[in-house]
Structure 1
């Protein structure tokens, strides 16, 4: 329990730090210019496609494996805003549940 609480606190702390940088750092004037520069570069477009594909796959797994509807919605809304640390935090917090699901699935597959 202490391990999960430590990582959950770390994830929440880092997410709040990121939000603080975004809100108090006033990155918005630069955001548009830097976004345009990324879209002008081939590897910038590839990086954005990779990033959002990862978000989509991670959120799809959450919707498939998470039993609580409010958690699914929270992850769906928070991931595009705060990034992959949200998905990493979910994996840490739900580790035992996911381990139980995987053992059950492996047992079913081996019985066939």
Structure 2
């Protein structure tokens, strides 16, 4: 008899909460008594996986582009003049307030969805690394977010 621990996992990314809670280790959607996916459900599950993969790639490319833009600004921009403009102009202050409100909202989303002490490791760098770090989090966690959002 094969023990439960040594059995290979065939869980799919789309129905992860169901597979985890059922303990059967099968790729099954809720309401599927046989454990076999119908053609329609199988195609839908594959589409979701493809869409999530494409979204992850888009997020990664956008994050890399944003990081490159930051490096370019640091190398060729006048940081002191930009800071003086931000703090001396009302719209600069609005921009900073908007930026840090976004950081706080990202931290709240991460804290709610992580549910463990790893949340601190994801939240602590946000004020220093900004939305580049938030993109990294979304890129890693998107499959789980999609799987948990499905009924």
**Aligned pairs (5 A) from 1:69-84:** 69-70=117-118, 73-74=121-122, 76-78=124-126, 80-83=128-131
Q: Distance in 1 between matches of 2:82 and 2:133?
A: 22
Q: Could you tell me whether the CA contact under 8 Å between 1:39 and 1:45 is conserved in 2?
A: yes
Alignment-derived partner of residue 85 in structure 2:
37
The residue that corresponds to 1:22 in the other structure is 70
**1:96: which partner in 2?**
147
Whether the 8 Å CA contact 2:87–2:93 is kept in 1: the answer is yes
- Partners of 1:7 and 1:79 in 2: CA distance: 25
Cα–Cα, structure 1 residues 41 and 27, in superposed 2: closer, same or farther, change >3 Å?
same
How far off its partner does 1:83 sit? 1.5
Q: Which runs of 5+ in 2 are unaligned?
A: 1-48
State TM-score, norm by structure 1: 0.65
More helix by share: 1
Does structure 1 residue 63 correspond to structure 2 residue 111?
yes
Give the whole-Å Cα distance in 2 for the aligned partners of 1:35 and 1:48.
10
- Structure number, greater radius of gyration: 2
Per-residue CA deviations over 1:55-90 (Å, capped at 9, x if unaligned) read 112211210222464466235425752427835972
Greater RCO (CA < 8 Å, at least 6 residues apart)? 1
Determine the structure 2 residue equivalent to 1:106: none
Q: CA deviation at 1:34?
A: 0.9
Runs of 5+ unmatched residues, structure 1:
104-112
Query: Secondary structure in 1 aligned to 2:125?
Result: helix
